[in-house]
Structure 1
Amino acid sequence: MTTITTRTVQYPADGLVMTGHLAFPAGVDRGPAVLLGPEGPGLSDVERRRADALAELGYVALAFDLHGGRYLSEPEEMLARCLPLLADPDRMRGIGHAALDVLRAEPRSDPDRIAAIGYGTGGAIGLELGRDGVDLRVIGTVNGLTTGRPGEAARIRCPVWAGVGSEDPIMPPAQREAFTTEMQTAGVDWRLMTYGGAVHAFHHPPVNHTVLPGVEHHPQHAHRAWHDIVALLAECLPVTS
């Protein structure tokens, strides 16, 4: 296993003090970087491990925070914070830009070679960065197939990859169609991967707290989705020695 280094970082966003997780590959050179966004409940060890796995592949990775260092395990509390957030593109962009600034300022990051990969709310934030015209190499979103304000998708400057479970009741066919129509109308280089039989948050390991209806882990597709994301990064943001 490749030796990596990790560090906790704190930074202001959305009126909170956010606590992110930075992971670095071995060496001292600058390299490609990945902004990694979590599901609605917030940053957990799942995303920290994903950032570490990306560092092992040669990326500088920042798993960013949504809720000021808190993980919202109660669905009611999570929805009370996330639903207004998802309805406010400017707030989402503010959270994304704050994390992106931290990643760009890191001396090991190449500020011109950054991808945004996110899950659920974290994926929606990545898309909003794209709609805000941020220079990214690729955007990948699992579950977070949100649509933006009219016309703003035309500002996306990179390929967009999206993954969703075929039976996801939170991202139903009408939402997927609205998302793909937005991408196509804007002339974005987009892809949608549908994982047959999977529901919402299928990629996330089982948790020991109450979850929303329609949320369930799918081990096979979780593995496939991670493989697809790694392949996406290899295509659009390759690590060069």
Structure 2
Amino acid sequence: MTTVTTRTVEYPADGLTMVGHLALPAGAGRRPGVLIGPEGPGRNDVQRRRADALAELGYVALAFDLHGGRWFTDPEEMLARCLPLLADPDRLREIGHAALDVLRAEPRTDPDRIAAIGYGTGGAVVLELGRADVDLRAIGTVNALTTGRPGEAVRIRCPVWAGVGSEDPIMPAGQRDAFAAEMQAAGVDWRLVIYGGALHAFHHPPVDQPVLSGVGHHPRHVERAWRDIVGLLDECVPTEMRRDA
């Protein structure tokens, strides 16, 4: 196991002071960077562990923030914050650009080799970065089949991988079809994986708080989705460590 260094980073976005978690791999040279967008309730230990795991693989990883350091335990409060964000691509892009600036400013990050992954609302953020013509090497999302403004998906320059649960009522078949149609019409190199029997947020461990209807953890698929994301990074922005594996 390699030594990972972590630190908390604060930065402004969407009128808030965001609190991100930056994880650095062992060594001193520049490494590829990965943005990690959190689920709708916000950034917590789950995203921090994701960043640390990617740093173990040789990436500079930033788990970014959506809500100014807040973790929502009330689903209604979470929706009151997230739904206006999801309806406003420019705000999503502002949040994404601010986090991207932090990642690029880190001396260990190779600014020409950056990928972005996201879950739920965080996935919508990274998709909007692609639609905003940001130079990313890969975009990966789970439970974030959001469609953009007409014509803007043609700006996506990199492969897009998306995963969703077959039983997700928040991202139903119609939403899957609309996302696929948008990506295909734009000529994007895209893939969609449907995890059989999984609900919304199947990738997040169970929490001791109220959750939205249709949310549920799926322990087998969470591991499969993580392997798929790591496979995307291996393909599009491999680290020296992964090349040698």
Which category of TM-score, normalised to the shorter sequence, fits these structures? Answer: over 0.9
- Superposed displacement of residue 240, structure 1: 1.8
1:194 corresponds in structure 2 to 194
Is 1:178 aligned to residue 167 of structure 2? Answer: no
Task: Give structure 1 regions of 4+ aligned residues with deviation exceeding 6 angstroms.
Answer: none
Tell me, in whole angstroms, the C-alpha distance in 2 between the residues paired with 1:174 and 1:232: 25
Secondary structure of the residue aligned to 1:80 is helix
Secondary structure of the residue aligned to 1:112 is strand
Is 1:119 aligned to residue 126 of structure 2? Answer: no
- Superposed displacement of residue 31, structure 1: 0.6
Per-residue Cα deviation, 1:57-103 (whole angstroms, up to 9, x for no partner): 00000000000010011100000000000000000000000000000
Aligned pairs (5 A) from 1:1-241: 1-240=1-240
- Superposed displacement of residue 113, structure 1: 0.3
Per-residue Cα deviation, 1:82-140 (whole angstroms, up to 9, x for no partner): 00000000000000000000000000000010000000000000000000000000000
Tell me, in whole angstroms, the C-alpha distance in 1 between the residues paired with 2:135 and 2:106: 17
- Superposed displacement of residue 195, structure 1: 0.2
Tell me, in whole angstroms, the C-alpha distance in 2 between the residues paired with 1:73 and 1:12: 23
Letter in 1 for 2:29: D
* Structure 2 segments unaligned to the other structure (5+ residues): none
Tell me, in whole angstroms, the C-alpha distance in 2 between the residues paired with 1:231 and 1:191: 12
* Structure 1 segments unaligned to the other structure (5+ residues): none
Letter in 2 for 1:169: P
Aligned-residue identity in percent: 79
Tell me, in whole angstroms, the C-alpha distance in 2 between the residues paired with 1:175 and 1:78: 21
TM-score by length of 1: 0.99
Letter in 1 for 2:97: H
Tell me, in whole angstroms, the C-alpha distance in 1 between the residues paired with 2:209 and 2:66: 19
- Superposed displacement of residue 3, structure 1: 0.7
- Superposed displacement of residue 13, structure 1: 0.1
Letter in 1 for 2:12: P
TM-score by length of 2: 0.98
The count of corresponding residues between Structure 1 and Structure 2 is 241
Tell me, in whole angstroms, the C-alpha distance in 1 between the residues paired with 2:110 and 2:124: 23
Tell me, in whole angstroms, the C-alpha distance in 2 between the residues paired with 1:203 and 1:76: 21
Per-residue Cα deviation, 1:113-170 (whole angstroms, up to 9, x for no partner): 0000000000000000000000000000000110000000000000000000001000
Tell me, in whole angstroms, the C-alpha distance in 1 between the residues paired with 2:29 and 2:45: 27
Tell me, in whole angstroms, the C-alpha distance in 1 between the residues paired with 2:172 and 2:235: 29
Secondary structure of the residue aligned to 2:240 is coil
Tell me, in whole angstroms, the C-alpha distance in 1 between the residues paired with 2:40 and 2:71: 9
